[in-house]
Amino acid sequence: MDGGLLDETHPMNAPRPEIKETIARKVLNATGLGGIALVSGIIAALLISMSVAYIVTNFVSRL
């Protein structure tokens, strides 16, 4: 060991950030990622429903 017991390059041994910074980061991540997931989920649902409707319409029109 080089005089220290902890490996300071490891992320778990890094100095703690301020509480305000971690709370702000958690709120930003939660709202940002939640919004992105919500919008992408809505877009995916619309695309799936439109493609199913297109397939069903073509299938019915060929009968």
pLDDT in tens, the chain (63 residues): 455 566 667 767 667 767 777 777 787 777 777 788 889 999 999 999 999 999 999 999 988
Backbone φ, ψ for residue 49 (5° rounding): -65, -35
Residue 62 lies in a domain: yes
2 is a domain residue: no
Residue 44 lies in a domain: yes
The answer as to whether 63 is a domain residue is yes
Number of helical (H) and strand (E) elements in the chain, helices listed first: 1, 0
- What pLDDT score does 52 carry? 97
Flag whether 1 is in a domain. no
pLDDT score, position 17:
67
Q: What is the pLDDT of residue 6?
A: 64
pLDDT number for residue 5: 64
Task: Tally the domains of the chain.
Answer: 1
**8 within domain boundaries:** no
Residue 23, domain member (yes or no): no
Q: State which residues form the domain around 59.
A: 38-63
